[in-house]
Amino acid sequence: MMDRLDGPDRPGMLVLFDIDGTLLLSGGAGKRALNETFEELFGVAGAFDGIPVAGRTDPLLLHDALAQTGLTAAADLRARFHDLYCERLAVTIHDPLPRKGLMPGVRRLLARLEGRPDLTSALLTGNFARAARIKLEYFGLWRHFACGAYGDDAASRDELVPVAIARARRQGIAIESSAQVVVVGDTPLDIRCARAAGAWAVAVATGPYSEAELTEHGADRVLPDLADTGACMELFETMGTAACGRS
């Protein structure tokens, strides 16, 4: 993760990116690792099959898998699940899986943002922090992000924007309010978490939801993908200019 300490109280916008379906597709490496881990610890195969994944946090997925199989797990076993899952993900992410790769324009957009001291790239994801790093390092993206908020921080995605803001402030980024925050994601849950915090919501139709569906859920702007770097940068700049009026 990059060092973004360009100076104390550096003003700007915080651009929070979701990972799966927004930046990349892991080809199902995460779900494979989840199922393998659950089977090893609990003896049940396919525990995560049929459980909605898009936009949800890893702790909630584990909760649903336990409920679906009629099992319970104390904190120490959940911690063991976390560690073993991340170990397995570090292996399965290298498997030659279908539908695996970066979304259009992602690498170019992140490189452009890196050159802008007024726009800081960070993460807001339901992935465990260690899992997020495994996925992003595999694709060579981890270094682009100043900080993040993860599934480890809260089971509810709606609680993650304040976590990301607090971490950004500790990096010396002067975020005075959530009006200086943009959440970029591919599901209605990404939009909802932005709305819950008073942040901007930019939705991309690169996941399971169409542009029309994302518009209906109240995104400030819906894009087909992140391929048009210039348009994305202009959008973030426009939201930054308007932030003072929303604060």
CB within 8 Å of 43: residues ≥ 6 apart: none
How many residues appear in the chain? 247
Tell the CATH superfamily of the 10-26+101-246 domain: HAD superfamily/HAD-like (3.40.50.1000)
Which run of H or E residues covers position 241?
helix 229-246
Cα angle value 11/189/160 (rounded, 5°)? 45
Query: Partners of 122 in the beta sheet?
Result: 16
Reported as a single tens digit per residue, the pLDDT across 7-27 is 445 558 999 999 999 999 999
Q: What is the pLDDT of residue 92?
A: 97
Indicate the domain borders of the chain.
10-26+101-246, 29-92
Reported as a single tens digit per residue, the pLDDT across 70-81 is 999 999 999 999
Query: Would you tell me how many other CB atoms lie within 10 Å of the CB of residue 165?
Result: 24
Q: What is the pLDDT of residue 244?
A: 66
Tokens 């991340």 sit on residue: 86
Reported as a single tens digit per residue, the pLDDT across 63-107 is 999 999 999 999 999 999 999 999 999 999 999 999 999 999 999
Reported as a single tens digit per residue, the pLDDT across 187-217 is 999 999 999 999 999 999 999 999 999 999 9
- The rounded mean pLDDT for the chain is 94
Q: What is the pLDDT of residue 12?
A: 83
- The two tokens of residue 165 are 């803001």
Cα angle value 88/63/128 (rounded, 5°)? 45
- For the chain, the first-to-last Cα distance in angstroms comes to 29
